[in-house]
Structure 1
């Protein structure tokens, strides 16, 4: 009888303890959340990720820890998230490369492997050269590029910045030797070191060097002139109908539970209102462009189709 009574008592104790255990598991987040930045430190995506992590401290009970996992134009970082446990403890800061890489045939990962949290930013591409380069206008640059094999740096094969340069070739007859790097910042450093003729990364990522007199931007690939580059023409102003840039936004594994997704979306909506985040974007001259989860998902679907058409037109699919 004692053994039987002991078993009943143990069962009752387990039953009483179960709700507390379930409740502990349900609280999200109860440990730090990793934010995977699939590019090297120092670039625009990294700057945004770190600024967001700092600004989020008031709106999540746990900290966000930024982890740089660069390579393959973002695919290494994306794979880390979609192959990880879908519990919301790994977010990723996506960029438009997710629209170009699968359409180029470089990866099978697509935007459909993720659940969008929110878009945070948008920046147009730009044609940037060293300050001592012999071209003062984009027209002079294009004329020179038609005669030779210019070395143009980008953020990796199939990256948005690669597509931006390819679009310039298509519209102008310029001939480029496309040099891939593991992100925008390494390409910028290569240009500063005299290893490239130009780069086609975002204007925001070159802003500090342009302001410091080390680089000059000949044109931006946007519909209108942008803040910080008011004296720089758009390609459209110069008769080249090209408008290409990158957005950056948060996402998680597509199998992440809806309640966790909702918690992250709510915290993000509050975080983007923090002045510290806006100040960090302004300091880098990066464009604020918030879109909630549903709207961000629509942007990804639209851009996936756009880049598929562009890549097929240019014959770039591998």
Structure 2
């Protein structure tokens, strides 16, 4: 019997109806069956990249496939996050999430929303800090602020991109102190720090973790941390509040998957992430890099995203920050 094209199509349609639901379920049940990509939306070398690589290494005991870290910098993180949001939601392409996921849309620099991701877990929290070269003429934040007031917009402060949390932190600092900096954006904290080391800018507003090795080697010095209390490893560095500046601001880092990722896959992601977060090797690397460890599960991380989305939206409007 001759099989016509319509009849062949009907056969395939019937087969799809009979077996179509089994294949996805099977694919989800054996997840993961090949490597997982963890995308970092910044250049290699910064705190976000360091956390991602430490997590990928520590995960080997708790997942049967490797996690490969990829760097996709640009547009303050928007390029990398957009790639993950638009990828197939199957659990094989994840992203490291940072506060910029919230700030960029409020600045009109990204069309996505934070709930385009399903949060897996939060792994870190770090405050902002002002760091200068070791031979800079300022030894206190008061001296630094005085110099900026004396010559408005001439003190160059590097950050990890327009609309980044470190840009917001420096803008909030100048608002609280009545100064005006010259904000210099980079594609991540690492290149900003390299520019400071090279003498191309006067300071960076990044996390203590991202300048830690250079502070330890005596090349840089941190003048202030924008935290509620002094940090481990930075016990001699005052908080902004200690210096009469009512400011506490910083970032967090966590993992996220595209919003339509199946519940079965999300459950596995959250399970192995929770186990990996307790690995001594991860904590050891984070301690060495002075990255603040904070673990919250997917539900709690989702609440943080919603709360901080409101906070940073209000802050951007108050400071009238424009890209």
Q: Distance in 2 between matches of 1:227 and 1:23?
A: 47
Please state how far the C-alpha of 1:317 moved relative to its aligned partner: 3.7
- Structure 1, unaligned runs of 5 or more: 1-13
Alignment partners' CA distance in 2, 1:32 and 1:209? 34
Aligned 8 A contact 1:35 1:49 in 2 = yes
Q: Note if 1:258 corresponds to 2:263.
A: yes
Structure 1 residues 231 and 257: alpha-carbon distance in aligned structure 2, compared to 1, 3 A threshold: same
Instruction: Provide the C-alpha distance between the structure 1 equivalents of 2:56 and 2:284, rounded to a whole number of angstroms.
Output: 14
Q: d(CA) in 2 for partners of 1:286 and 1:106? A: 28
1:316, distance to aligned residue in structure 2 (A): 1.0
Is 1:237 the counterpart of 2:242? The answer is yes
Instruction: Please tell me whether residue 150 in structure 1 is matched to residue 155 in structure 2.
Output: yes
- Equivalent residue pairs, number: 307
Write the deviation string for residues 250-293 of structure 1: whole angstroms up to 9, x where unpaired.
00000100110010000000001111100010110110000100
Alignment partner for residue 305 of structure 2, among 291, 300, 307?
300
Q: What residue is the counterpart of 1:70 in the other structure?
A: 73
SS in 1 for 2:206: coil
Q: Give the alignment of 1:70-149 within 5 angstroms.
A: 70-148=73-151, 149=154
Could you say which residue in structure 2 is the equivalent of 1:224?
229
| 1:39 counterpart = 2:42 | yes
**SS of equivalent residue, structure 1 residue 301:** helix
- State the alpha-carbon separation in 1 of the partners of residues 23 and 315 from structure 2: 52
1:213 to 203, 215, 218: 218
Match of 1:7 in 2: none
Q: 2:294 aligns with which of 289, 296, 312?
A: 289
* Residue aligned with 1:200, SS: strand
SS in 1 for 2:70: strand
Question: Structure 2 CA distance, aligned partners of 1:21 and 1:238?
Answer: 61
Distance in 1 of aligned mates of 2:167 and 2:22 = 53
Q: Quick one: structure 1 residues 283 and 242, their matched pair in 2 at CA, closer, same or farther if it must change by over 3 Å?
A: same
Aligned position for 1:203: 208
CA distance in 2 between partners of 1:135 and 1:187 (Å): 19
Cα deviation, residue 205, structure 1: 0.6
Residue 51 of structure 1: aligned partner = 54
d(CA) in 1 for partners of 2:126 and 2:22? 47
What CA RMSD, in Å, does the superposition of the two structures yield over aligned residues? 1.9
Moved more, 289-298 or 100-109: 100-109
Quote the offset at 1:23 in angstroms. 6.4
Q: Deviations over 1:85-133 (max 9, x none)?
A: 0111111001111121111111111211100000000110000000000
Per-residue CA distance 1:196-215 (angstroms, 9 max, x = gap)? 01110001110110010000
SS in 1 for 2:266: helix
